[in-house]
Amino acid sequence: MTTNNNAAHKYVIETHDLDIYYGDFKAVTGVNMKIQRNAITAIIGPSGCGKSTLLRAFNRMNELYAGTSIKGQVTFDGQDIYAREVDPVEVRYRIGMVFQKPNPFPKSIYENIAWTARIHGYKGNMDELVENSLRQAALWDEVKDKIKQSGLSLSGGQQQRLCIARAISIKPEVILMDEPASALDPIATLKIEELMQELKKNYTITIVTHNMQQAARASDYTAMMMLSGEGERSGTVIEFDETHRIFTVPKDKRTEDYVTGRFG
Amino acid sequence: MKEKAFVQGFDTNLEARHRKGLLWRVVFQASTIVGIVALIALMLNIINSAFGFVAYEAKVDPDTLTVDGTPIQDQSKEQLVARLQSTLSRGAYNKLDKDEPFAERSREEVYQLVIERIVRPQVVEVWNLWSSLTQADEIRAAVARDHPGAELEFVSWLTHDFVSRPQTSEPLTAGVRTAILGSLWTILFTILLAFPIGVGAAIYLEEYASDNWLNRIIQTNINNLAGVPSIVYGILGLAIFVRTLEPLTSGAVFGLVDPTTANGRTVLSAGLTLGLLVLPIIIINAQEAIRAVPHSLRNASYGVGATKWQTVWSHVLPNAMPGILTGTILAVSRAIGETAPLVVVGASTAISFDPNSPFSKFTTLPIQIYQWTSRPQDEFRSLAAASILVLLILLLSLNASAVLLRNRFARRF
């Protein structure tokens, strides 16, 4: 993938009439989204409406599930990431991902980051990179004395921040987060949200969340997804706007019902 | 507790539910006990035959071999060699000297030869452990009455000598060193063939192969191959390794043996045959282990831009390794105990040379046991029992080392 001039593209990721299929089943229909650089974009909506599916399509993680395919286009800095000549491995290198369940490698804290950097051919000072990444993920002070211990010895919230540290250690441009705080307690959740505010200075963040307060608190833009296309069986983005507008003056009645808790 | 008021339509019937649970529990417990009892009966049976009284008579009274007042057991090596030379036929003596020159043999070996070839103790009768313990006096009386010249001794058939002596046709001097080495050589080639190929195939099938009809057929066939009777593999091994690939498996192409007498019935052929036999089992077990690696771990790796190979090598394999090794241990244990395919491939039943290369003729412990149990004399059954104990010990120690190896890779989730 060629490196484009970032300034030329105000939007990091854009989708054009994106349909996502599991086999013959069309899970997501007709999504047109523009993800703003250095901002946090939240995707909200009820369970099973295709939020995570859409998010995974942004860095081709969906291809790891058998039988998935897409129609339409996803561009990253103006380039179609599904184009024939694009290597999905490079897409995932530039667009990192943090998952719902914290999933550090069953290696030491240090090795979690060092391995990630090494596979991308990092030749610099590894100790420095590990420390910087952990500092950026607001984890360094908690783990600096036990950095050789297993990443799995940490608490859930710490593990998730380790996963974020791991993701940013290779300096991606975008970080996709799939309900990163849904398995965490409110305090750990708050830490992750604060961390996101810190990270958006350098990265573009897209987050899927079930938690509307979290979307309202932490995001700049919000996409509201709902099962609507194909006889209410396929998810689509029904409204996409600045977060405060979604939560105060939604245009769509269904969005209003959902964000005010009158869904269904 | 106060009884809950009866609710229309419900009948909690707690007592009956607990009774039913208890019944099943007893059934499961009984099945476990049946298994354990069977195992204990097997062990007792083996131990019963492996120890006990043996009465034997010497063909030549050792006292007649005394030279200048020195009894046979105190004579020097030179005296013993001289004794062999004077008593054995020239041909027999020369053959012994040709197998291994007397100059190079230790005194202990020569002494054994004198006992074996000249004194020639012959078993008159053997008793198992149980009757040896309960009827010792009757046995002594019977021996004194029926075989006045015989010596009665309480022996363990499983001794250090038994393990370290080569096979002979005399029960009292027979050993299983040849068979142990044959088993170890065979199993070495089994592992060398089956482990890398099995794990490789499992990685391909789990991580790379797409879900199409061809791969499904392959998968089904691997599952079926795991259930094919082992003798069929023996026939396959005979056709491929012993016959077709004879120049290779006999070592002829490497110039190690005379091509005119080359013979594919070697350790190598046996090991490869057993390797084929356990390959499907190793593949299936390795697949299970690879499948058990959590998907979240693969996601983590792909999510930071790792390639498939980096993911497999750094995460999938290390985390599947304990499971893969467990499966391999089970498969190799099966291979060690196999008899039928080796009979077909051509294990030698009587061989006194240690296998010392992939191209050696061989026998293995199960073959040896099979051969001894099919002999009519009781003493061979005792030998077989002792060899079974050796086989069990060998199996347990191989498993133990594999378990230690596995624990080094222990899962760290």
Q: What is the mean pLDDT of residues A110-132?
A: 93
- Its domain, for residue A121, covers 6-259
Instruction: Please list every residue in chain A whose beta carbon sits closer than 8 Å to the beta carbon of residue B210.
Output: 66
Environment class of residue B326 by beta-carbon count within 10 Å: exposed (0-12), middle (13-18) or buried (19+)? middle
- Listing from the earlier edge strand, what are the strands of the sheet with B151-156? B121-126, B51-58, B151-156
**pLDDT band for position A6 (cuts 50, 70, 90):** low
Q: Report ipTM (2 d.p.).
A: 0.90
- The pLDDT tens digits for B280-320 are 999 999 999 999 999 999 999 999 999 999 999 999 999 99
**pLDDT band for position B218 (cuts 50, 70, 90):** very high
pLDDT score at B259: 67
3-state secondary structure of B70: strand
Nearest residue on chain A to B315, judged by CA atoms? A105
Where in chain B are all domains bearing CATH 1.10.3720.10?
177-408
The closest CB to that of A89, out of B305, B315, B412, belongs to: B305
Quick check: is A1 in a domain?
no
Record: fold of B177-408: MetI-like fold (1.10.3720)
* Tally of CB atoms within 10 A around B335: 25
| Distance of alpha carbon B43 from the chain centroid | 16
What is the number of structural domains in chain A?
A: 1
Quick check: is A64 in a domain?
yes
Q: How far apart are CA A126 and CA A133, in angstroms?
A: 10
Quick check: is A264 in a domain?
no
The closest CB to that of B306, out of A98, A119, A167, belongs to: A119
- Residue A219's nearest CA partner among A237, A233, A203, A207 is A207
Q: What is the mean pLDDT of residues B215-244?
A: 92
Quick check: is A183 in a domain?
yes
The closest CB to that of A105, out of B300, B302, B305, belongs to: B300
- The pLDDT tens digits for B21-49 are 999 999 999 999 999 999 999 999 999 98
CATH number at residue A118: 3.40.50.300
Quick check: is A130 in a domain?
yes
Instruction: Please list every residue in chain A whose beta carbon sits closer than 8 Å to the beta carbon of residue B303.
Output: 59, 61, 92, 96-99, 167
Quick check: is A185 in a domain?
yes
Asked if residue A259 has pLDDT above 80, the reply is: yes
Residue with token string 């499971």? B323
pLDDT score at A188: 87
Q: What are phi and psi of A64, to 5 degrees?
A: -75, -10
Alpha-carbon distances of B161 from B75, B111, B242, B353, rounded to whole Å: 21, 14, 33, 16
